[in-house]
Homo-oligomer: A and B are copies of this chain.
Amino acid sequence: MKIDDNFYMKLAIDEAWKYQLLTYPNPAVGCVVVKNGEILAIEAHKEAGKPHAEVNALKTAYLSKYPNDVLKTKSSSHDIHDYLIRNHNNFFEDCTIYVTLEPCNHIGRTPACANLLKELKPKRVVIAHEDINKEARGGCETLKSANIEVSIDCMKKEAYELLYPFIKWTQGTFIFYKMAQTLNGSIDGAISSHIAKAYVHTLRDKIDLMLIGGNTVRSDKPTLDARYIAGRAPNIMIYSKNKVFDTNIPLFKVPNREVIISDDLFKLLDYKFIMVEGTYNLMDKLKEKIDYLVLLVSPKIRKGVNALNDLDIDFKIVHENYIGEEKIIYLKRKG
C-alpha cells in the first residue's frame, strides 16, 4: 500500500464517517496530524457545538508528546484555541495537517480554525474539499497569507461523499431511509442488537422529522422516541391517506412532539434533515426523493418476511462501518 497524502487523508475521512449524520447541522469532518512522518492524531468533529476536527486533532497531537501538559484539562473550543496559541512553542512547525474540509474562517459557536492554524504555523495543510458554506469560506486564503503551504483537492471525491449530507441539508433537504435486515433480506421480528438500536435512537435525537407509513403505525404501534439514549423524541409525519388513528397509542403521547398525518410528500421540503423508517412500500413512494439508504445488516440468515417487491433502485456504497457486531452500510441513490 502506498503511504502518501491520500493514505493520511483516508484516515481522516474514515474517522469523520464515524460521526456522519451525528454532527447535524454541521458537516462531518476529520483531521490527521503528522509530525516528521509520525502520525500523532486522528480525530473528528463529533457534535455541533463541540470542538471542530482540527481542534481535537491539534490537542491530541500536542498531548501525545506532552501527556501531562495542562492542555489535557481544556475541553471547550475557546479554551483549547487560547491555550494552544499561547503555548504551542513552535510544536507544529514541522507538522502536516490533513483535514477533510477547508478550515472554517469565521467565528461561530467556536473560534475560527483557519486563524488557529495561522498562529500555529504548521509546515503544510492538506485539504480534501473546499468549504461550500459562504460564511465559513476563505480558510485557504488565511493560511496562505501566513505563508503556510496549502494543498487542496486531495481525495476530493471521497471527501465530497462525506460532505454530501451537509451539502444537501444546507441547500435544502437531506432524506435518508433507515432499514434493518438480516443477510438474506428478512425484516421480520427482532433484528438489531441493543447497540444498533441505541445508534438509531441517537439519529432520532438529531433529525428534524421522522417519516413513517400509516400501516406501520396501525400495526406496530411504535413509540418512535429516543429513550435508549435519553434523547429528544423527533417530530413525526405519518404518511397516510386515511387520517384516522388511535391517538391513545404511545406515539401520540410523547410530550412536546408534533405529529402530522398527511399524504403530501411536498411537506418534507419544509424540513432539512429527515429520517424515514418503514418497509419497501414506503420506499417505493419515496424512491426519487431519498438521498441515502442507511442499512443495518445483522449477520444471520432468518426465515421471515422479505422486503422484496417490484422496486428497482441502484445505489453506490459510500461507506460502511461496524456497529457492534453488525454492519452499517451508507448507500447513496444513483440517479
Contacts and interface: CB of A to CB of B under 8 A. Distances in A.
Interface string A74-118: 000000000000000000000000000000000000000000000
Interface in A9-65: 11, 15, 36-43, 64
How many copies of the chain does the oligomer comprise? Answer: 2
Contacts of A320: 320, 327
A186 interface: yes
A300 B325 contact: no
A306 interface: yes
A270 B192 CA distance: 39
A229 interface: no
Contacts of A39: 3, 37, 39
A278 interface: no
Interface string A281-293: 0000000000001
Nearest to A300: B314
Contact of A3 (B40, B304, B326): B40
Contacts of A181: 184-185
A102 to B, nearest CB: 22
Nearest to A183: B295
A309 interface: yes
Interface residues of A, number: 46
B1 A43 contact: yes
A299 B280 CA distance: 15
Given A303-B311, A313-B301, A322-B317, A183 B37 contact: no
A139 to B, nearest CB: 24
B327 A299 contact: no
A325 B334 CA distance: 12
Contacts of A15: 1
Contact of A317 (B299, B307, B316): B299
A264 interface: no
B303 A309 contact: yes
A331 interface: yes
A69 interface: no
A312 interface: yes
A302 interface: yes
Interface of A: 1, 3, 11, 15, 36-43, 64, 181, 183-186, 280, 293, 295, 299-304, 306-317, 320, 322, 325-327, 329, 331
Cβ-closest 8 pairs across A and B? A185-B185, A37-B38, A1-B42, A299-B315, A184-B185, A301-B313, A300-B314, A301-B311
